[in-house]
């Protein structure tokens, strides 16, 4: 049997770095992970990464041909192949990650942030298969986004496009990690909905099981579970989140007229609790010509190795462009 | 001397339809116009258009080779070549304008709205020459926008992308022609700044020469002139307009990370009066990574035949893609 072409997907997280060989159809043939060791320099991470990749490649020897390497990393710049002052890593300044990896592999290497990688993953293997215009919104601790327009990833002039999480809901609103106020991600994200709960508990008088949880321990999963049990405050928090997210996504549609918006990540796992109010408020705020046209979809990628699939899709997308 | 290649640019306005032959460098070799006659069916307009084009082509016989036709029209759909329920024309339903024109000319024909055409005009001949990521904002009666990302016009899934004028400033804000409330164009446009003047005259007590103008007669030009003479209310209206426009353009930058935003159209002619507050509030609301990177530029197209240049650029852009 001939060897099959694969790419290597690498997802560099704050805690773990996951790698996997992925074929053109998005099948992961081998996967493993190493601790990221945030305090280490990038050189050591890449060295350990190389060892791990060689290890998982061994049982596949002769059966796969590695065509390229895609990397999802925080603050990654697609154009330059660099990672610039990543928030959760102690790497200093600008690290040319693509060049570091190429010292081990004489192959095409591409890097981008995890939200862009997720968008390409959805396009190649997931919910956006065959679509040319769509947006992926990652509702994790923050709100990440990846935009595809006319079949191409939107990187912008400097490689940093797709920061929908930092569009402004209210210039006098909640303090954001970015130093400004009222960014969408301070409302529509796992941490945002926790802040909404605190506001609602202050404002309203209804009983809620969430009154027994310290703010420090509160998670979006707890809120979803409470809402599932009919907790009025928890349900209202999803309504508020959907209202703000739907309103701002209507602005995104006005810019880009996507075929679909895909909600991804922890908070999206709350299903109808978040999809229903988001969809309702999105439609309510859409310009007439866009109404009832834009699909709001869950991810089509299997939970678990989505970041690796996204990273592998990044380099498949580049390889397919050249071919 | 060999004949030079030209395209025909056609701008269909509510009152007049302007046509011109334009070369690859944006030089208009001949231009003329006919009344649009808004009540007439599209067929008659295209017939009269053809007569006019033949007339202006006659003196150029043998010196030009027509390569294609670009049309800027309200509610035009690039993908389908159609105009769909145009607001100021009495055309019924969906008119296949490209097909109508092709009954006279066996050449490539492309149609789009005037804001997209303006963006392509800036890219081929104007302020965005050599840029791959930029946004053109037309501050006319309304607010039109054209987005270019990675060197390609963003049309979206249905051909209607680029409606930044209908992003929402305040869901409980000013009533918009689109039937909703608080759209950006109800604040940042020639008509929007007139509405701002009325609000300010109600709210404040300062003397203003604009207190002597009936709302019906008020124009953005009068406001600019008054501001130029130091009228406090008029100056404040530009500040308010720039604050709202700058805030919302920061959202556009978060989506697209453009190299430049180009302000175009009647209100943009007010120069520093509108550019200064818009730039200041844009910078103030930008995410750190975008600060001091995005240029805010005036149009680089000569006033007068900009719409024809834009329409001609539309078809040049398509012809150059194929070549």
Give me the helices (H) in chain A, please. 42-57, 97-102, 114-125, 190-203, 220-228, 232-256, 272-285, 306-322
- In the prediction, which pLDDT does B1 show? 66
Q: Taking residues A24-50, report their average pLDDT.
A: 94
Using a pLDDT cut of 90, give the percent of chain A over it. 89
Query: Do B69 and B8 contact (CB within 8 A), yes or no?
Result: yes
Question: Could you say which of A147, A162, A257 has the minimum Cβ distance to residue B157?
Answer: A257
- pLDDT category at A66 given cuts 50, 70, 90 is very high
Q: What is the pLDDT of residues B193-226, one digit of tens each?
A: 999 999 999 999 999 999 999 999 999 999 999 9
Q: Which helix (H) or strand (E) holds B28?
A: strand B28-35
Average pLDDT over residues A90-103: 93
Q: Which residues of A17-37 are buried (b: 16+ CB within 10 A; e: fewer)?
A: bbbbbbbbebebbbbeebebe
d(CA B9, CA A24): 44
Q: State whether residue B42 sits within 8 Å of chain A by CB.
A: no
Dihedral (CA of B16, B17, B22, B24) sign: positive
* CB of A73 closer than 8 Å to CB of A12: yes
- According to the model, what pLDDT value does residue B306 have? 87
B213 close to B231: Cβ distance less than 8 angstroms: no
Q: Report the candidate in B254, B133, B294 with the shortest Cα–Cα distance to residue A178.
A: B254
Q: Is A156 on the interface with B (CB under 8 A)?
A: yes
Residue B303: pLDDT band with limits 50, 70, 90 = low
Mean pLDDT over B104-113 rounds to 96
Q: Under an 8 A CB cutoff, do B178 and A287 touch? A: yes
| Of B135, B99, B98, B91, nearest in space to B254 by CA | B135
Nearest partner of B144 among B83, B111, B190, B110, judged by Cα: B190
Interaxial angle between packed helices B272-285 and B232-256, expressed in degrees from 0 to 180 and rounded to the nearest 10: 50
pLDDT at B104: 97
Cβ atoms < 10 Å from Cβ of A292: 7
Q: B85 falls in which pLDDT band (50, 70, 90)?
A: confident
Q: Per residue in A202-248, pLDDT tens?
A: 999 999 999 999 999 999 999 999 999 999 999 999 999 999 999 99
Query: Does B322 score more than 80 pLDDT?
Result: no
Q: Give the model confidence (pLDDT) of A124-162 as tens digits.
A: 999 999 999 999 999 998 999 999 999 999 999 999 999
Tokens of A207: 């009983």
* CB contact set of A189 (below 8 Å; sequence gap of 6+): A139, A140, A141, A142, A143, A165, A267
Q: How far is residue A101's CA from residue A52's CA, in Å, rounded to a whole number? A: 13
Reported as a single tens digit per residue, the pLDDT across B242-300 is 999 999 999 999 999 999 999 999 999 999 999 999 999 999 999 999 999 999 999 99
Q: Which residues of B touch A290 (CB under 8 A)?
A: 158, 160, 163
CB contact, 8 Å: B133 with chain A?
Answer: yes
Q: pLDDT band for A298, please (50, 70, 90 cuts).
A: very high
Position A192 scores a pLDDT of 97
What's the gap in Å between the CA of B116 and the closest CA on chain A?
Answer: 12
Q: In this predicted model, what pLDDT tens digit does every residue of A9-31 receive, in sequence order?
A: 999 988 899 999 999 999 999 99
Query: Is B150 an 8 Å CB contact of chain A?
Result: yes
Q: What is the dihedral sign for C-alpha A246, A252, A254, A260?
A: negative
Q: Give the per-residue pLDDT at B4.
A: 95
pLDDT at B304 over 90: no
Q: Is the pLDDT of residue A304 over 80?
A: no
Residue A156 and residue B258: Cβ atoms within 8 Å? Answer: yes
Q: What band does B84 get if pLDDT is binned at 50, 70 and 90?
A: confident
Angle of the B272-285 helix axis to the B220-228 helix axis, nearest 10: 90
- What's A90's DSSP letter? -
| Beta strand pairing call for A143-149 and A152-153 | antiparallel
Selected residue of B145, B148, B244, B255 to mutate for chain A interface (largest A Cβ count, 10 A): B255
Q: What is the pLDDT of residues B17-59, one digit of tens each?
A: 999 999 999 999 999 999 999 889 999 999 999 999 999 999 9
Place of tokens 């016009």: B153
User: How does A103-114 read in b/e, with b if 16+ C-beta sit within 10 Å?
Assistant: ebeeebbbbbbb
Residue-level pLDDT at A85:
82
Left, alpha or beta for A106 (phi > 0: left; psi -120 to 50: alpha)? beta
What is the DSSP code string of B158-227? Answer: TS----GGGSBS-TTS-B-TTSSB-BGGGTSSHHHHHHHHHHHHHH-----GGGGS-GGG--HHHHHHHH
Question: Model pTM?
Answer: 0.94
Testing the interface with A: which of B156, B285, B286 to mutate, by most A Cβ within 10 A? B156
Whole-angstrom distance, CA of residue A238 vs CA of residue A275: 9
Residue A6 has pLDDT above 90, yes or no: yes
pLDDT digits (tens, 9 = 90+) for B130-180: 999 999 999 998 999 999 999 999 999 999 999 999 999 999 999 999 999
Sheet holding A4-12, edge to edge: A28-35, A16-23, A4-12, A64-72, A109-112
Asked if B283 reaches chain A (Cβ–Cβ under 8 Å), the answer is: no
Q: Say if residues B194 and B177 touch (Cβ distance below 8 Å).
A: no
Identify the pLDDT of residue B288.
93
Q: How far apart are CA B310 and CA B323, in angstroms?
A: 20
CA distance B11 to B20: 9
Q: Give the gap in angstroms from C-alpha B266 to the nearest C-alpha of chain A.
A: 22
Q: What integer pLDDT is reported at residue B88 of this predicted model?
A: 77
Q: Using CB atoms within 10 Å of the CB of residue B315, give its burial: 0 to 12 exposed, 13 to 18 middle, 19+ buried.
A: buried
pLDDT bracket for residue A176 (50, 70, 90): very high
- pLDDT for the residue numbered A323: 63
With beta carbons less than 8 A apart as the criterion, state whether A258 and A295 touch: no
> Which pLDDT score is estimated for A87?
77
């Amino acid at each position: 049997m001939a060897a099959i072409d694969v790419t290597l997907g690498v997802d560099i997280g704050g805690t773990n770095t996951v790698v996997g060989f992925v074929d053109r159809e998005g099948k992961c043939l081998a996967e493993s992970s190493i601790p990221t060791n945030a305090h280490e320099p990038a050189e050591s991470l890449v060295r350990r990464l190389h060892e791990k990749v060689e290890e998982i490649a061994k049982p596949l020897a002769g059966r796969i041909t590695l065509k390229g390497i895609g990397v999802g990393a925080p603050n990654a710049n697609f154009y330059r192949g660099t990672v610039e002052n990543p928030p959760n890593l102690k790497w200093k300044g600008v690290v040319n990650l693509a060049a570091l990896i190429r010292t081990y592999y004489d192959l095409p290497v591409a890097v981008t942030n995890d939200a862009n990688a997720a968008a390409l993953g959805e396009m190649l293997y997931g919910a956006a298969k065959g679509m040319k215009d769509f947006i992926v919104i990652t509702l994790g601790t923050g709100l990440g986004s990846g935009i595809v327009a006319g079949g191409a990833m939107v990187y912008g002039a400097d490689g940093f496009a797709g920061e929908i999480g930092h569009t402004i809901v209210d210039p006098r609103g909640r303090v954001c990690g970015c130093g400004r106020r009222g960014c969408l991600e301070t409302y529509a994200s796992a941490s945002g909905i926790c802040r909404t709960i605190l506001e609602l508990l202050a404002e309203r008088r209804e009983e809620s099981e969430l009154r027994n949880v310290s703010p420090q321990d509160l998670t979006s999963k707890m809120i979803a579970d409470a809402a599932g049990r009919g907790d009025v405050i928890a349900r209202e928090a999803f309504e508020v989140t959907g209202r703000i997210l739907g309103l701002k996504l209507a602005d995104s549609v006005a810019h880009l007229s996507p075929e679909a918006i895909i909600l991804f990540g922890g908070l999206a796992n709350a299903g109808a609790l978040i999809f229903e109010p988001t969809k309702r408020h999105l439609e309510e705020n859409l310009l007439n010509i866009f109404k009832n046209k834009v699909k709001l979809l869950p991810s089509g990628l299997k939970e678990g190795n989505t970041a690796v699939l996204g990273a592998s899709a990044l380099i498949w997308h580049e390889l397919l462009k050249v071919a």
